[in-house]
Chain A
Amino acid sequence: MSKMHVKLKVNGQEVEGLAEPRTLLIHFLRENLRITGPHIGCETSHCGACTVDMNGKSVKSCTVFVAQANGADVTTVEGLVNADGSLGVIQEMFREHHGLQCGFCTPGMITRAHRLLQENPSPTEEEVRFGMAGNLCRCTGYQNIVKAILASADLLKGQKEAAE
Chain B
Amino acid sequence: MIPAGFEYHRPADIRSAISILQEHGDAARVIAGGHSLIPMMKLRMTDIGHLVDLQAIGELKGVEVGAEKVTLGAMTTQAELIGNAALGAKIPLLREAALQIADPQVRYVGTVGGNVANGDPGNDMPGLMQCLDATYTLVGPDGTRDVAARDFYEAAYFTARGDEEILTRITIPVPAMKGYAYEKQKRKIGDYATAAAAVLVGGGKASVAMTNLSDTPIWSEAAGAALAKGDVEGCVAAAMGAIAPSEDMRGPIAFKKHVAEVILRRAIAKAQERAK
Cβ A1 vs Cβ B7 within 8 A: yes
Of residues 113 through 160 on chain A, the ones whose CB sits less than 8 Å from some CB of chain B are: 116, 130-134
* B2 partner residues in chain A, CB cutoff 8 A: 22, 24, 27
B255 at the interface (CB under 8 A from A): no
Q: A22-B2, A57-B79, A68-B34 are in contact. Are A134 and B7 (CB under 8 A)?
A: no
Contact mask B205-222 → A, CB, 8 Å, 1/0? 000000000000000000
The segment out of A10-18, A58-66, A95-103 that lies at the interface is A58-66
How many residues on A have C-beta within 8 angstroms of the other chain's C-beta atoms? 30
> How far is the CB of A27 from the nearest CB of chain B, in Å?
8
CA of A127 to CA of B222, assembled, Å: 39
Could you tell me the distance between the alpha carbons of A61 and B259 in the complex, rounded to whole angstroms?
34
Q: Which residues of B contact A134 (CB under 8 A)?
A: 102-106, 189-190
Among candidates A4, A43, A60, A116, residue contacting B8 with C-beta atoms closer than 8 Å: A4
Report A-chain residues with C-beta under 8 Å of the C-beta of B10: 67, 70
User: A59 near B109 (CB under 8 angstroms)?
Assistant: yes
B24-52 vs A, Cβ < 8 Å mask (1 yes, 0 no): 00000001001100110110000000010
B189 touching A133 by the CB < 8 A rule?
yes
Q: Is the CB of A65 within 8 A of B38?
A: yes
Q: Tell me whether B35 and A63 are in contact (CB under 8 A).
A: yes
B190 adjacent to A46 (CB under 8 Å) = yes
Q: List A contacts of B34 (CB < 8 A).
A: 63-65, 68
In the complex, chain A residues whose CB is within 8 Å of the CB of B275: none
* B92 interface residue (CB < 8 Å to A): no
Bound CA span A46–B31, Å: 20
Please list the residues of chain B having a beta carbon within 8 angstroms of any beta carbon in chain A. 1-8, 10, 31, 34-35, 38-39, 41-42, 51, 53, 55, 79, 102-106, 108-109, 189-190
Interface residues of chain A, those whose CB is within 8 Å of chain B, are 1, 4, 20-22, 24, 27, 43-46, 48, 51, 57-60, 63-65, 67-68, 70, 112, 116, 130-134
Q: Can you report 30 residue pairs joining A to B where beta carbons are below 8 Å apart?
A: A1-B5, A20-B5, A21-B51, A22-B4, A27-B2, A43-B1, A43-B42, A45-B38, A45-B106, A45-B190, A48-B105, A57-B79, A57-B108, A58-B104, A59-B105, A63-B38, A64-B38, A65-B38, A67-B51, A67-B53, A68-B31, A68-B55, A70-B10, A112-B104, A130-B104, A132-B104, A133-B104, A133-B190, A134-B106, A134-B190
